[in-house]
């Protein structure tokens, strides 16, 4: 039987699938009109190579929009206890495969039914009385640092490389553990949805996240007006494509006016955040019930502060670094600390020069899906307006958020600030204690070949190959012209944020 055939870990990919799907909401992207210059007059002098006539780029400032008030405490309670992704695996099947989560995978202040579940699962009993284990935001939005779980840190060790056929076998295997007709009905509902998502829930590389590739499929499988689930998609869905995204830390939302790397998330942030429920919901009424308290979840997310750098800092060096940072980096990233200000700038693709796949709109993120969103329940208060560029993020807690750039293509800040040091092919241990305290980021090993030259499956999945589409590590060369001393002091300063 399943339990004998598959060890405990065999259900893990299943968990990732379900959770991947709920992140769908987090990653909607689309081709859309280009950014509009706001003309605040800043010139992009240091954005160009130090050659003859540096091009000038439009300065795009992303405006603040009103957000719903909410109670951060209630928001945390809802985040860890409420069934906002209301479909999943019957609890009886779950309990046959998994025992109680170890202490370091549990969360404080959970309801009794969820208390012994790992942080990324939430218990839910349906109206019909079926006990389920559902997924939640933290499978992607909690990560480990030195072994300790940090809520709001993007998971940089996620593994979405398991083959689609294997995912589907696991979905089927859950059914073998069930006999109760009501449980079987819930399993079938869940299975149908995760099966639709499975082909899009796949990346060839461990670390980055496929969430941005799901949304189109889930939009297509819901009626735009009623949100009823459609077995056949109402919109043509393009074939699956690797679209690697590094999960951003939540604490940035304290400063950011828009959500997502390409600033697609406009309007009511809480409504964007609750879009994750689309994996399971089948009606506007269900969506409204969840939306009613998502203002609290947003308030919690916007209240988060980054973890403090845990190792010694050379304060004098950091103070020199602040001066260099404020002169070289702050026009995009803002100034930090007391009296700091954050400009909410979108940097166009030609100016930033980083991998363009996410910001150019892949096939599945084309106009029809943005339209679907903006004309649906979600579009009532929130808008998707993806741009052809990337937001320069606030750098609070940046020491904790390796790897760097939107696709996680650069393992350390030292390499980000000197593009000649960026490894073309690299790997890491995925051990959250394997931190590089000098370069800031993950310790990494340079590999002398790309994925095509690797025959070992595990090594291949753990090899970051920057020559693959979407995985490029070019651009953001603003640190290249710093002298070694200035660069080192900027690194020291970044530890203090
Ligand atoms: C399967 C992984 C996954 C799950 C589950 C998930 N997200 Fe995300 N989330 C992402 C990724 C990836 C991004 C970045 C997408 C982008 O910017 O293109 C993101 C972006 C965000 C952002 C924007 C951050 C920023 O700096 O712009 C917020 C806020 C967020 N998610 C909240 C949530 C909430 C709340 C939930 C649960 C209801 C959730 N996410 C579930 C993967 C996930
Ligand atoms: C012209 C605007 C601009 C300037 C100047 C600039 N940056 Fe950036 N920076 C960006 C943008 C945009 C991104 C996101 C790019 C992406 O993800 O593809 C970014 C990303 C980063 C990241 C990675 C963030 C993450 O979570 O992956 C770090 C670290 C960073 N910048 C540091 C610096 C430092 C230090 C300087 C000064 C030496 C600097 N930047 C100068 C625009 C700028």
Q: What is the pLDDT along the chain (497 residues), one digit of tens a residue?
A: 232 333 333 333 334 344 333 333 333 333 233 333 333 333 333 444 445 666 789 889 999 999 999 999 999 999 999 999 999 999 999 999 999 999 999 999 999 999 999 999 999 999 999 999 999 999 999 999 999 999 999 999 999 999 999 999 999 999 999 999 999 999 999 999 999 999 999 999 999 999 888 888 999 999 999 999 999 999 998 889 899 999 999 999 999 999 999 999 999 999 999 999 999 999 999 999 999 999 999 999 999 999 999 999 999 999 999 999 999 999 999 999 989 999 999 999 999 999 999 998 764 467 899 999 999 999 999 999 999 999 999 999 999 999 999 999 999 999 999 999 999 999 999 999 999 999 999 999 999 999 999 999 999 999 999 999 999 999 999 999 999 999 999 999 999 99
Nearest-CA residue for ligand 2 atom 33 is 329
- Give 435-470 pLDDT, tens digit per residue: 999 999 999 999 999 999 999 999 999 999 999 999
**CA of residue 98 to ligand 2 center, whole Å:** 42
pLDDT of residue 3: 29
Class of residue 405 by CB neighbours under 10 A (exposed 0-12, middle 13-18, buried 19+): buried
Nearest-CA residue for ligand 2 atom 36 is 329
Q: Which domain holds residue 84?
A: 2-495
495 CB within 6 A, ligand 2: no
Using an 8 Å Cβ cutoff, are 129 and 182 in contact?
yes
**CA of residue 123 to ligand 1 center, whole Å:** 21
354 CB within 6 A, ligand 2: yes
Please tell me whether the overall predicted TM-score, pTM, comes out greater than 0.85 for this model. yes
Tell me the Cα Rg of the chain. 22
β-pair partners for 464:
426
277 CB within 6 A, ligand 1: no
pLDDT of residue 9: 35
Total structural domains in the chain? 1
pLDDT of residue 365: 60
Cα–Cα distance measured from residue 471 to residue 363, given in angstroms and rounded to the nearest whole number? 17
Nearest-CA residue for ligand 1 atom 8 is 26
- Give 149-162 pLDDT, tens digit per residue: 999 999 999 999 99
pLDDT of residue 227: 98
How close are the terminal C-alpha atoms of the chain, in Å?
52
Retrieve residue 301's tokens. 């997310």
Nearest-CA residue for ligand 1 atom 37 is 137
CA torsion sign for 178, 179, 185, 186 is: negative
Return the DSSP state at 66.
-
Cα–Cα distance measured from residue 155 to residue 49, given in angstroms and rounded to the nearest whole number? 34
* Residue from 393, 409, 473, 496 whose mutation best tests the ligand 2 pocket (most atoms within 8 A of CB): 393
318 CB within 6 A, ligand 1: no
149 CB within 6 A, ligand 1: no
pLDDT of residue 54: 66
């Amino acid at each position: 039987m399943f339990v004998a055939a598959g060890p405990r870990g065999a259900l893990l990919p299943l968990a990732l699938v379900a959770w991947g799907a709920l992140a769908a909401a987090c990653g909607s992207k689309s081709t859309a009109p280009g950014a509009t210059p706001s003309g605040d007059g800043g010139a992009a002098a240091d954005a160009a190579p130090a050659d003859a006539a540096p091009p000038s780029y439009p300065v795009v400032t992303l405006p603040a929009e009103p957000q719903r008030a909410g109670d951060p405490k209630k928001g945390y309670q809802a985040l860890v206890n409420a069934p906002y992704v209301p479909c999943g695996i019957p609890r009886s099947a779950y309990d046959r495969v998994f025992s109680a989560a170890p202490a370091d995978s549990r969360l404080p202040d959970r309801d009794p039914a969820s208390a012994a579940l790992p942080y990324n699962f939430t218990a839910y009993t349906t109206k019909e009385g079926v006990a389920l284990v559902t997924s939640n935001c933290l499978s992607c939005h909690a990560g480990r640092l030195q072994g300790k779980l940090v809520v709001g840190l993007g998971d940089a060790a996620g593994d979405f490389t398991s083959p689609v056929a294997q995912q589907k076998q696991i979905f089927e295997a859950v059914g073998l553990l069930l006999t109760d007709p009501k449980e079987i009905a819930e399993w079938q509902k869940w299975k149908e949805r995760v099966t639709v998502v499975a082909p899009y829930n796949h990346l060839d590389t461990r670390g980055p996240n496929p969430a941005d590739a799901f949304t189109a499929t889930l939009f297509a499988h819901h009626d735009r007006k009623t949100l009823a689930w459609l077995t056949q998609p109402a919109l043509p869905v393009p074939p699956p494509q690797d679209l690697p995204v590094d999960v951003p830390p939540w604490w940035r939302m304290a400063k950011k006016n828009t959500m997502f790397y390409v600033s697609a998330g406009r309007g009511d942030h809480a409504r964007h955040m609750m879009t994750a429920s689309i994996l399971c919901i089948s009606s506007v009424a269900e969506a409204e019930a969840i939306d009613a308290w998502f203002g609290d979840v947003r308030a919690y997310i916007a209240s988060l502060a980054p973890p403090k750098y845990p190792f010694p800092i050379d304060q004098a060096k950091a103070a020199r670094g602040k001066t260099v940072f404020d002169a070289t980096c702050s026009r995009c990233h803002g100034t930090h600390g007391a009296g700091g200000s954050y400009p909410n700038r979108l940097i166009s693709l030609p100016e930033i020069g980083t991998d363009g796949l996410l910001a150019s709109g892949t096939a599945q993120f084309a106009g029809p899906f943005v339209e679907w969103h903006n004309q649906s329940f979600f579009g009532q208060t929130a808008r998707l307006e993806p741009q052809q560029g990337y937001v320069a993020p606030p750098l609070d807690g940046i020491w904790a958020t390796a790897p760097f750039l939107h696709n996680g293509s650069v393992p350390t800040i030292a390499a980000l600030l000197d593009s000649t040091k960026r490894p073309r092919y690299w790997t890491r241990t995925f051990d959250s204690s394997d931190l590089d305290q000098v370069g800031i980021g993950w310790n990494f090993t340079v590999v002398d070949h790309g994925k095509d030259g690797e025959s070992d499956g595990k090594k291949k999945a753990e090899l970051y190959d920057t020559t693959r589409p979407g995985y490029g590590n070019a651009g953001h060369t603003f640190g290249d012209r710093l002298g070694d001393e200035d660069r080192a002091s900027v690194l020291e300063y970044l530890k203090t944020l």
